[in-house]
Amino acid sequence: MGGIADQAERAGRQAENSDWLDYAVRIGMVAYGIVNLMIAWIAAELALGDSSGKASSQGALHKLAQQPFGGALVWLVAIGMVLLVIWRLLEAALGHRDEEGGKRWRKRAVSAGKAAIYGAVGVSAFKVATGSGSSGKGGQSTTSKIMDWPGGTWIIGLVGAAIVAYGLNNIRRAWTEKFREHLSAEGQGGDAGKAYIWFGKIGYMAKGAAFIVIGGLFVYAATSHKPKKAGGLDDALHKVLQQPYGPVLLMVIAAGIACYGLFCFARARHLSR
């Protein structure tokens, strides 16, 4: 059994370090960039008074499907997300070997979490591509069911706190420019490199702000015992719209999400894993 496990680990490491995985990640990053640009488009429309679209991954995919060659692009997104899931699962199982102890396991846990995020987008993409995904707004039945469990409100509250922490970490990455590790040296040089870095700074800042609002909604739902108050990105952006100068703030966030999408393209071109 030990020999089989060693062979499996060697095979996994070869796959993780192979050129084909680089190509797979590049395709996935392009697909993820497209999704974020579509979300930004819907958010901008919402800021301008058009609330017909849903500012979420699924809403973005429905919007994409309505464009010329949209069906093919949705399939590209679905395949790209599968490739990103494979990459992150390999990282979760075998990656971050240059780290030691708890830091290695923490990074592997983060990789597993990102695999889940990409997987959720991929499932939505396959549903839209096959015509089985609904473009309407869903309820909060899952949150309601969890809150009915013993300790369910604590679970929802902890989920919200974790989402807020993730948002804060994105802002930290923007402030410290930690995201630059995702770009090769070539991708950070010259005028193009400066533009990519600005896309990253603005994009990670906007992404972080959006996740903080989402997490805050979950925490509020837990503390108020109102599961319908929890929500995803679409609910968070509507909450922003209700604030003073909401349309202006929402347009800024939309621009930031678009910058994150452009950074995904830059990352695909100048990949550093």
Average pLDDT over the chain reads 87
Task: Please give the model's pTM, rounded to 2 decimal places.
Answer: 0.86
Q: Backbone phi, then psi, for 206, in 5-degree steps?
A: -65, -40
Average pLDDT over residues 133-153: 67
> What pLDDT score was predicted for residue 10?
63
Q: Is the pLDDT of residue 1 over 60?
A: no
Report the pLDDT averaged over residues 200-227.
90
pLDDT score of 5: 53
Q: Residue 61: what pLDDT?
A: 92
Q: Quick one: pLDDT at residue 141?
A: 52
Residue 2 has pLDDT above 80, yes or no: no
> 4-55 pLDDT, tens per residue?
555 555 655 666 667 888 999 999 999 999 999 999 999 999 999 887 778 8
Rounded CA separation 123/131 (Å): 12
Determine the pLDDT at residue 138.
46
The DSSP letter of residue 182 is G
Residue in this structure with the two tokens 């190509």, named with its chain if needed: 23
- What is the DSSP-derived secondary structure letter of residue 67? S
Q: Which of 50, 44, 93, 71 is nearest to 250 (CA)?
A: 44
Judged against a pLDDT cut of 90, whether residue 258 lies above it is answered with: yes
Mind listing the pLDDT tens digit for each residue in 73-110? 999 999 999 999 999 998 888 877 777 778 888 888 88
Strand partners, 183: 271
* Helices 57-65 and 101-130, axial angle in degrees (round to 10): 40
Q: What is the pLDDT of residue 137?
A: 47
Say if residue 97 is exposed, middle or buried (CB neighbours under 10 Å; 0-12, 13-18, 19+).
exposed
User: Minimal CA–CA distance to 33: which of 2, 5, 73, 87?
Assistant: 73
- 140 has pLDDT over 50: no
The structure tokens listed for 140 are 């909060």
Measured from the Cβ of residue 49, the count of other Cβ atoms closer than 10 Å reads: 8
> Can you give the pLDDT at residue 136?
45
Report percent pLDDT > 70 for the chain: 90
